[in-house]
Structure 1
Amino acid sequence: MRSHRRRVPTEHVLLAGDVADLPGIVAALAWLPADAYGQVLIEAGVDDELPLLAAPLRVTVHRVERSPQGDGVAAARAVVAWVEEWIPDEIDDRRTVSIWVGERVEPSCPRINALVERL
């Protein structure tokens, strides 16, 4: 009988940034292994056009609409939500989690600072 347990991805990634961070995101995507799993979050305004990004099959790209509160706020909220969902309290030695956050994501966000301390 085949096990119903899902295979845990060895490389789980989050890349998050603003449209101005696209060069860094593109460079990071180029270095990912083919079996990487994760998400790319790009904060963009309504009028910003995003290019089609080459990513491993199990890495999805999501557009995060820029918040009226200013640049980086919506992306910061999305990063916090991702970490709360995907980073377990207990360490799993079977996988590596990599997070790259662009410089335009709200750096003064207390929740981002708390995440950095936690991670």
Structure 2
Amino acid sequence: MARTRRQPSERILIAGAVEDLPEIHRMLVDLPENAYGQVFVEVALDEQVRILPAPPRVTVTWLVRTTRPSIVPSLCFADHGEALAAAVIGWASEWCVTDCEPRTSVWIGCSDSPWAEQARAAVQLELADAGQQVVVEYGG
């Protein structure tokens, strides 16, 4: 997602893990006050949750892995990127519908997680199927 002021009609989705917090913070600072959308941040522990400078219409949701079970039977807690991917895919199934917003900008970090890679692909497909302009950028 380019660091430019966004039009009020553009919806945003920002999703990343604790290692992406500096970039997420920078993106949120660059958003105008009338921006709207969703931010998901996956962290390992409650102690990593902090306040981010989100505009009033941008919701920040913290996904704490140690409080979530994994779908992988051998793991006690959610795997790195697992909770984030589930949240992003859930968001896409709810928000990527035909005749909704004309444009959605998406930035997904957590670049070292195969779970996040699956979420990126799902969001791109959902947006395209809904006839929306697809702008999905990856964190690195």
Between the aligned partners of 1:41 and 1:34, the Cα distance in structure 2 is 19
| Residues 45 and 74 (structure 1), Cα distance of their counterparts in 2 relative to 1, 3 Å cut | same
Normalising by structure 1, report the TM-score: 0.76
| Alpha-carbon displacement from aligned partner over 1:19-75 (angstroms, at most 9, x marks no partner) | 111011111112212111111111112344222111111111111121524100110
Paired amino acid for 1:22: L
One-letter code of the match for 2:105? Answer: S
- The CA distance in 2 between the partners of 1:39 and 1:17, in whole Å, is 12
Segments of 5+ residues of structure 2 without an aligned counterpart are: 1-7, 69-76, 128-140
Paired residue secondary structure (1:20):
helix
Aligned partners of 2:48 and 2:32: how far apart in 1? 27
Structure number with higher helix proportion? 2
Q: 1:53, 1:27 → 2: CA distance? A: 10
Aligned length: 108
Q: Which moved more, 1:47-56 or 1:72-81?
A: 47-56
2:60 matched residue in structure 1: 61
TM alignment of 1:84-95, pairs within 5 A: 84-90=93-99, 92-93=101-102
Gap regions ≥5 residues in structure 1: 1-8
RMSD: 2.1
Quick one: which of 77, 82, 85 aligns to 2:86?
A: 77
Which protein, 1 or 2, shows the higher relative CO under an 8 Å CA cutoff with sep ≥ 6?
A: 1
CA–CA separation in structure 2 for the residues paired with 1:42 and 1:92: 23
